[in-house]
Amino acid sequence: MIKQKHTKKLLSLVTATLIAATLIQPVTALKAAEIKSSGKTLADYKTDGDSIYGKYDDVFEYSEGLAVVRWGNKYGYIDANGNEVIKLKYDVAEAFNDGLAAVKLKGKWGLINKKGKVVIPLKYSGAGQYAYGLIAVKLKDKWGYINKNNKVIVPLIYDDAYNFEGNLGQVRKDYKSGYINRKGKVIVPIKYDNIFAFKEGISTIELNDKQGFVDKSGKVIVPPKYDKIYAFDQGMAQVTIDGKSGFINKRGELLVPIKYDKVTIFVDGLSQVMIDDKWGYINTRGKVRVPLIYDAVYSFNENYSMVILDNKYGFVNKHGKEVIAPKYDKAYDFYNGFARVSNNHKWGFIDKNGKEITPIKYDDIYNFYNNYAAFSIDGKQGLIDSNGKEIVPAKYDIIFTSEYSNFITVSINGKWGCLNKKGEEVIELKYEDILELYNNLIAVKLDGKWGILNTKNEVIQPFKYDSIEPVNDDEAEAYIGKTLYKINYKGEASPK
């Protein structure tokens, strides 16, 4: 499909065309080295010289203003400015929580505060996160809980103990799991083979390969009788017996019969369901809204669901009415009131009544933005309006409709320019690169330098900048060498 820019994160158009429920884990498994976010960047935490990443082997996520860092085999902490505030001397270090962090040194665990002072002696063979006033600790192969003054609150008698979540902490003894409160009182009996995290006040329990539900008071809501039971979502939970699924409520009452081969979670009161490879939709009362006759159904978008029958695409509404019969070889969801459809490898648009607003003749098309859509024929691109009228003929190599201004950006032979909404050229196709800004301003590059023009092709900023980049809806930043300039919504520049 034709590539178009349609997010607030803006790239120059040259660049744009070149890039295209589990068990609770034991606290001993939640070490800092295992919670690093590979996508995390620390651009906001630059030092005066190189970035923090250049100084350490690993930089972990910030928590309460401090981040764990590693150099070689030692861990410590830095602040938001990259200053090393706690020396890199620990074998393992955890993120801070409520002012305390678990650390390991010479095989022993304890906790430190943000000044690096040891507040829980490093004498334990395991330690969890300080949470809700308690810390899970391990000594002589048994787990229990202490407070921040190192006072034992829950005796160290368990085989495993987990960080508290609210008033409850999961414990395990003799291969059985349950929950205790912060005073050590057993709330959910320690008798289940597995027990899962609470969601919407309910926890999944497992006993003898059957699953059920228990609430935070320890009351069994649903006895362990299902082969599989899923977490509650919007007050409903999927349950499965012998490969068939249905839904129950929090009282354990069956809302949707256990008869479907596959179900999905409810979205806007509807769930996709399947029996014998035929799909449809039901509502939260189990009533069929879209009959189970289709080979596939898709999520509703703009109140229409795309369906497939005998390899043909069509659309139904939420009342189950087949508004557009399955007759297309390919289709995409409705977007801004129109859907792209294809037959015999050619594309066109339909509206929500199924009317074809364009002939199905294009090699490629893209979604409507601001009542305009790009199309492609024989390798050249043009533009149509929401009535299906071709307002820009297919003569450009690339064409982009703008979401934020009145520009239509076009390119021929690597040179960029702009049209108005009548298809008339308002900015000559002579620029090396082009970038939409705001308030009907556009940045263009000529002879290696950037400047700014308006819709009248008037120069608002001269061609002297090495780079220009929008930072929000009414401001951009530009560089000349290392000097940074702020450019406001009027196009006025001032040193920053």
pLDDT in tens, 131-148: 999 999 999 999 999 999
| Rounded-to-integer distance, Cα 434 and Cα 133, Å | 56
Average of per-residue pLDDT values in the chain: 89
How many whole angstroms separate alpha carbon 83 and alpha carbon 76? 11
Give residue 10's pLDDT band: very low, low, confident or very high (50, 70, 90): very low
3-state secondary structure of 83: coil
Residue 153: Cβ within 10 Å count: 15
Which pTM was predicted?
A: 0.71
> Binning pLDDT at 50, 70 and 90, where does residue 40 land?
very low
User: Residues 301-345: pLDDT tens digits?
Assistant: 999 999 999 999 999 999 999 999 999 999 999 999 999 999 999
Chain centroid to Cα 398, Å, comes to: 30
3-state secondary structure of 476: strand
d(CA 173, CA 195): 13
pLDDT above 50 (res 98): yes
d(CA 489, CA 317): 43
Backbone angles phi, psi at 416, to 5 degrees: -115, 150
pLDDT, greater one: 14 or 364: 364
Number of neighbours of residue 265 by Cβ within 10 angstroms: 14
Nearest in space to 443 (alpha carbons), one of 428, 422, 459, 430:
459
CA distance 151 to 238: 43
Count of residues making up the chain: 496
**In the chain, pLDDT over 90 holds for what percent of residues?**
79
Q: Sheet containing 408-412: give its strands across.
A: 398-401, 408-412, 415-419, 425-431
Report the run of H or E that residue 14 belongs to, with start and end: helix 13-16
Q: In the chain, what is the greatest distance between 2 CA atoms, to the nearest angstrom?
A: 81
* Residue 49 pLDDT > 60: no
